[in-house]
């Protein structure tokens, strides 16, 4: 099986990225520690936009992604939903 890559954007209120970043980094550490199929989790901070963070995740395969607790509650057949982990770091799960 081939690896699965997930890329996403986290938008936060202007001036709050420094408060949200440590929470996102703790989430990254938990994912890498507790989810065996999570191979890589990167957070990128664009210089030109202080209210945006980019996420890059690599999973062993589709099954590893499907088995992750953070994502299991986030998605349904009808689209994205916020999870408890996204709400705790101030993310709404709303589409732009």
The domain ranges of the chain are 4-88
Amino acid 87: pLDDT: 40
φ, ψ dihedrals at 83, nearest 5°? -105, 175
- Whether the Cβ atoms of residue 2 and residue 58 lie closer than 8 Å to each other: no
Burial environment of residue 85 by CB neighbours within 10 A (0 to 12, 13 to 18, 19 or more): middle
**pTM of the complete model:** 0.69
**pLDDT confidence bin for 79, thresholds 50/70/90:** very low
Looking at CATH, the fold of the domain delimited by 4-88 is given as Alpha-Beta Plaits (3.30.70)
Query: Over the stretch 5-56, which tens digit does the pLDDT of each residue have?
Result: 999 998 999 989 999 999 999 989 998 998 889 999 999 999 999 999 999 9
Amino acid 74: pLDDT: 44
Answer with the residue of higher pLDDT: 13 or 73.
Answer: 13
């Amino acid at each position: 099986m081939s690896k699965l890559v997930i890329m996403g954007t986290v938008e936060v209120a202007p001036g709050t990225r420094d408060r949200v970043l440590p929470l996102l980094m703790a989430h990254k550490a938990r994912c890498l520690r507790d989810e065996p199929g999570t191979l890589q989790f990167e957070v990128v901070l664009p210089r030109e936009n202080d209210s945006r963070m980019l996420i890059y995740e690599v999973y062993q395969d589709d099954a590893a992604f499907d088995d992750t607790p953070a994502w299991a509650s986030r998605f349904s057949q009808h689209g994205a939903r916020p999870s408890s982990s996204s709400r705790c770091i101030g993310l709404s799960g709303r589409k732009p």
